[in-house]
């Protein structure tokens, strides 16, 4: 297992490591719950350099990617971005991605386990297009600053430039000669920023962020806290809450990831047909549990006796669960049969009473309003 570029620095700070994306990544700095609450109250600094990074260049890049994903790439202008899904011709999910439009390229951020698969998927379709695909995962690191104080900290780092104000928007800066792509990211339910940085400048930027961010409460945060934060925010993660067996609509991605007006793309006919027919057979929902035991991925969700004639029936499966540091209770996400998705429905998970709730569990700002782009 390879170590990542900040391994020694993070080890000195008390990091506990685990394999992720082929690298040893900081799982925590000894207290995941405290790290979680630091992001909720002030700010956390996270190394996410294991995430995949593809860069598309060439005059056909926009047209090409537009035909490969569920969202409207053609509407992007330099400095903007969006969230999208790669699907099969049957509309099953290959990966989700954040896509950023740069002056001369499109930048794709992916889960580490999906990067090679998507690069090969794209390569199959480039034969007749002027498009080149570069995998920058080994040359570009990723540091993230999330939390209420993140805007102040990033402003200090990139002054006189201003941090991007809208989710998925970007700005390119060179503080102290370091080339950084700054992207707005709100996966934790808090304002936040992803900083894509050349690997040889990763350590100096990490130290600089802690220096200027210390007075604003910035502290190192591991991936365990990132996971509990995104569960509270109701954000499904590819490879955990969704995979190639799922339609994006089952995972509740209609508002964020799908344009129903953009025209043809791989999987479009199936998605349009499903939209015309209405709801899916199952839906990703939230659950608040009455007990203290945290269920494991794959555990069954059972109908409660309060549902006449259905008691003991398997009606879903858990995908993610955690003891929420913010809410002080066990929460979970999982797929639930459509007959049971009404918020307030009583179910049973791992022998514990549970209640169906809408996602997210936590949001600092009002939830997104339904729209069709």
Provide the CATH number for the domain around residue 26: 3.30.1360.120
Q: How many domains does the chain have?
A: 2
In 3D, which of 204, 264, 226, 249 has the Cα closest to residue 44?
A: 226
Is 151 a domain residue?
Answer: yes
Q: Are residues 289 and 226 in the same domain?
A: no
Mean local confidence (pLDDT), 245-254:
97
What CATH code is carried by the domain that includes residue 329? 2.40.30.110
Using the 3D structure, point to which of 193, 215, 232 is the last residue of a domain: 232
Is 238 a domain residue?
Answer: no
Q: Are residues 319 and 223 in the same domain?
A: no
User: For residue range 52-82, what is the model confidence (pLDDT) as tens digits?
Assistant: 999 999 999 999 999 999 999 999 999 999 9
Q: How many alpha carbons fall within 13 Å on the CB side of residue 288?
A: 14
- Residue 371 — very low, low, confident or very high, per pLDDT cuts 50/70/90? very low
Q: What is the pTM of this model?
A: 0.94
At residue 92, the 3 state secondary structure works out as: coil
Q: Are residues 314 and 226 in the same domain?
A: no
Q: What angle do CA 318, 319, 325 make, to 5 degrees?
A: 95
Flag whether pLDDT at 257 surpasses 70.
yes
Q: Are residues 291 and 214 in the same domain?
A: no
From first CA to last CA, the distance across the chain in angstroms is 43
């Amino acid at each position: 297992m390879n170590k990542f570029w900040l391994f020694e620095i993070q080890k000195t700070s008390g990091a506990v490591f685990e394999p992720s994306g082929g690298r040893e990544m900081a799982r925590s700095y000894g207290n995941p719950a405290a790290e979680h609450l630091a992001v909720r109250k002030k700010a956390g600094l996270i190394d996410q350099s294991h995430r995949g990074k593809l860069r598309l260049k060439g005059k056909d890049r926009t047209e090409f990617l537009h035909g490969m994903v569920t969202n409207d790439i053609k509407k992007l202008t330099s400095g903007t971005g969006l969230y999208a899904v790669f699907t099969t011709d049957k509309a099953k999910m290959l990966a989700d991605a954040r896509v950023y439009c740069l002056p001369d390229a499109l930048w794709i951020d992916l889960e580490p386990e999906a990067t090679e698969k998507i690069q090969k998927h794209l390569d199959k379709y480039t034969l007749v297009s002027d498009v080149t695909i570069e995998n920058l995962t080994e040359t570009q690191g990723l540091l993230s600053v999330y939390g209420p104080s993140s805007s102040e900290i990033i402003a200090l780092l990139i002054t006189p430039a201003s941090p991007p104000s809208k989710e998925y928007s970007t700005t390119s800066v060179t503080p102290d000669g370091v080339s950084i792509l700054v992207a707005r990211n709100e996966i934790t339910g808090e304002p936040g920023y992803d900083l894509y940085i050349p690997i040889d400048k990763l350590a100096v930027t990490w130290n600089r962020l802690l220096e200027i961010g210390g007075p604003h409460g910035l502290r190192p945060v591991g991936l365990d806290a990132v996971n509990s934060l995104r569960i509270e925010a109701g954000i499904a993660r590819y490879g955990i809450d969704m995979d190639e067996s799922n339609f994006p609509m089952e995972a509740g991605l209609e508002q964020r990831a799908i344009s129903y007006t953009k025209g043809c793309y791989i999987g479009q006919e199936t998605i349009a047909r499903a939209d015309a027919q209405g709801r899916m057979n199952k839906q990703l929902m939230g659950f608040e549990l009455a007990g203290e035991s945290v269920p494991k991925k794959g555990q069954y969700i059972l109908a409660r006796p309060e549902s006449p004639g259905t008691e003991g029936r398997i009606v879903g499966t858990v995908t993610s669960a955690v003891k929420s540091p913010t809410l002080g209770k066990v929460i979970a996400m999982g797929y639930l049969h459509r007959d049971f998705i009404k918020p307030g429905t009583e179910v049973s998970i791992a022998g514990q009473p549970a209640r169906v709730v809408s996602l997210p569990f936590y949001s600092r700002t009002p939830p997104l309003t339904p729209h069709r782009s």
